Amino acid sequence: MRVNLTFLALAALKTASVVAIDPPAEVPTDPAEALLELETLAESAYLEVTAGLGGPGTKKLRKRTGGTCTLSNLRIRREWGSLTSPQKTAYINAVKCLQSKTALTPSELAPGAKTRFDDFVATHINQTLTIHYTGNFHAWHRYYVWIYETALRTECGYTGAQPYWDWAKTAVTGLANSPIFDGSATSLSGDGEFVPGKPNLELGGGLGLPPLILPPGTGGGCVTSGPFQDMVVNLGPVSLDLPGGVVGANPDGPLAWNPRCLKRDLTDAINQRFANATSVLRNIVLPSNAATFNTMMEGVPGSGEMGVHGGGHYAMGGDPGRDVFVSPGDPVFYLHHAAVDRVWWLWQLLSPSTRMNGPTAIAGTRTMMNMPPSDPASIEDYVDLGFAGGVPTKIKDLLVSTGGPLCYVYL
Ligand SMILES: *[C@@H]1O[C@H](CO)[C@@H](O)[C@H](O)[C@H]1NC(C)=O
Ligand SMILES: *[C@@H]1O[C@H](CO)[C@@H](O)[C@H](O)[C@H]1NC(C)=O
Ligand SMILES: [Cu+2]
């Protein structure tokens, strides 16, 4: 059954602060149809939020969070392929600039954090066990990407917004042909060098769960083309999923210095299976509460699903791409997590009063998969990015992309 999502989305937004709209029960399984529905939904969300900066719901919520967001300081985050070549080059140069500046993290705390770019990686490593499969997952990563985008702008002269990776598009084009990964001067570098004979990936087997078996990709070695071919990865690995169910870790510790090349293992099959247009649309439309939204997004280990979040990470592959601790060490991480945030943003906009506001906006505890057991996360909890930057900010001030310290939309 085809459902008119545009109508539902607009209805939801118009009555946002009053009524919660039940999402339609089905989404198109045909990828082309799903992509069209997704783009229609995304466009209506953009129009609604920017119309006077906020429809009825978002405007009220913005006031409540006390932000200073206006159309004039609004950052419009776009899909990488829609940027012009000069815009792509400006972004790439700003990332390289961050990678050329000295770290703010004291070397006693993280000897491997050499650059400002590494400050972000070190913060992520340091907090990994309390920011994934937790109640703060989305708010934490939203603020993290925002502060990274801000650092590119204030420390490296970038004037644009954080671009995002549209997995639904790369599921159709193939990763290596996409403007993100084609290896050209305006890409974020291409695949790793082909390593033949790699066994399958086997994820989660170590936890005593049925492992998720994934096929090898078309790379595996060092990235050989594009702007980041000479990039040095300084931190990790900490828990790197390698072919054959092997997990790699630097014996010197998670924050030690371990300079090495950037590796990728582009795997279209993973992109297509877990992050196609239908997967994205399902994640926006189907979950009726934050708990089911999180579960669909991240997948449950042992369930055979990894969600669009896992799909993007594992489709990119390589080192540090497949390391839950160190993954921000690949510059594509920030495009991937902007895309994750965009899914959250669209899901939130279907019912702003319950999803951008109050305790129902989040679900989960304070420890990864509640190990060790911990209390539920609260919207009063702080997100603290340490030496990456920003100031400790409550989750409740990170629920609206145009409120609190935030001021951006997706297009
Ligand atoms: C790691 O987290 C602890 C506790 O919050 C903090 O004191 C320390 O500075 C952090 N280290 C790094 C490298 O960010
Ligand atoms: C597309 O994604 C959905 C949901 O994640 C999945 O069930 C389906 O198998 C995927 N399609 C393909 C062709 O892999
Ligand atoms: Cu993360």
pLDDT at position 11 is 41
Q: Which amino acid is at 280?
A: V
Closest CA to 124 of 143, 102, 106: 143
Residue 3, pLDDT above cutoff 90: no
Q: Rounded mean pLDDT of the chain?
A: 90
User: From the CB of 120, is ligand 1 less than 6 Å away?
Assistant: no
Residue 49, pLDDT above cutoff 90: no
Q: Are 305 and 214 in contact (CB under 8 A)?
A: no
pLDDT at position 59 is 65
What does the pLDDT average to over 135-156? 98
Q: Are 58 and 49 in contact (CB under 8 A)?
A: yes
pLDDT at position 400 is 92
Q: What region, left, alpha or beta, does residue 317 occupy, with left being phi > 0 and alpha being psi -120 to 50 degrees?
A: left
Q: Which amino acid is at 184?
A: S
Residue ranges with strand state E in 180-294:
192-194, 201-203, 212-214, 220-223, 232-235, 240-242, 246-248, 257-261
Q: Are 346 and 6 in contact (CB under 8 A)?
A: no
Task: Kindly tell me the burial class for residue 319, based on how many C-beta atoms sit within 10 Å of its own C-beta (0-12, 13-18, 19 or more).
Answer: buried
To test the ligand 2 pocket, which listed residue (214, 273, 306) has its Cβ within 8 A of the most ligand atoms? Answer: 273
User: From the CB of 273, is ligand 2 less than 6 Å away?
Assistant: yes
Residue 83 DSSP one-character state: S
The alpha-helical segments, DSSP class H, found in 66-216 are 85-98, 116-127, 137-156, 167-173
What does the pLDDT average to over 78-90? 98
What does the pLDDT average to over 312-325? 96
Q: Are 34 and 281 in contact (CB under 8 A)?
A: yes
The confidence band for 187, taking pLDDT boundaries of 50, 70 and 90, is very high
Write the residue with the smallest CA distance to atom 2 of ligand 1.
Answer: 126
Q: Are 252 and 218 in contact (CB under 8 A)?
A: no
pLDDT at position 8 is 42
User: From the CB of 283, is ligand 2 less than 6 Å away?
Assistant: no
pLDDT at position 18 is 22
Q: Which atom of ligand 1 is nearest to the CA of 106?
A: 13
pLDDT at position 55 is 52
Residue 265, pLDDT above cutoff 70: yes
**Higher per-residue pLDDT: 29 or 393:** 393
What does the pLDDT average to over 110-131? 98
DSSP output for 43-86: HHHHHHHHTTTS-HHHHHHHHHHT----TTT-EEE-BGGGS-HH
CA atoms within 13 A on the CB side of 233: 24
Residue 115, both tokens? 């650059």
Residue 95, both tokens? 């990332």
The confidence band for 275, taking pLDDT boundaries of 50, 70 and 90, is very high
pLDDT digits (tens, 9 = 90+) for 287-311: 999 999 999 999 887 788 999 999 9
CA of residue 147 to ligand 3 center, whole Å: 14
User: From the CB of 123, is ligand 1 less than 6 Å away?
Assistant: yes
What does the pLDDT average to over 153-173? 98
Q: Are 114 and 171 in contact (CB under 8 A)?
A: no
Residue 344, pLDDT above cutoff 90: yes
The confidence band for 4, taking pLDDT boundaries of 50, 70 and 90, is very low
What does the pLDDT average to over 176-189? 98
pTM of the predicted model as reported, rounded to 2 decimal places: 0.93
CA of residue 271 to ligand 2 center, whole Å: 9
Q: Which amino acid is at 312?
A: G
Q: Are 61 and 403 in contact (CB under 8 A)?
A: yes
Share of the chain above pLDDT 70, in %: 90
pLDDT at position 337 is 98
Residue 226, both tokens? 């594009």
CA 177 to CA 81: how far, in whole Å? Answer: 11
Domains of the chain and any CATH numbers: 8-410 (1.10.1280.10)
Residue 6, pLDDT above cutoff 70: no
pLDDT at position 14 is 39
CA of residue 326 to ligand 3 center, whole Å: 8
Write the residue with the smallest CA distance to atom 12 of ligand 2.
Answer: 273
pLDDT at position 60 is 66
What does the pLDDT average to over 121-125? 98
Q: Are 83 and 77 in contact (CB under 8 A)?
A: no
The confidence band for 263, taking pLDDT boundaries of 50, 70 and 90, is very high
pLDDT at position 309 is 97
Give me the residue label for tokens 């129009």: 47
First to last CA, the chain: 27
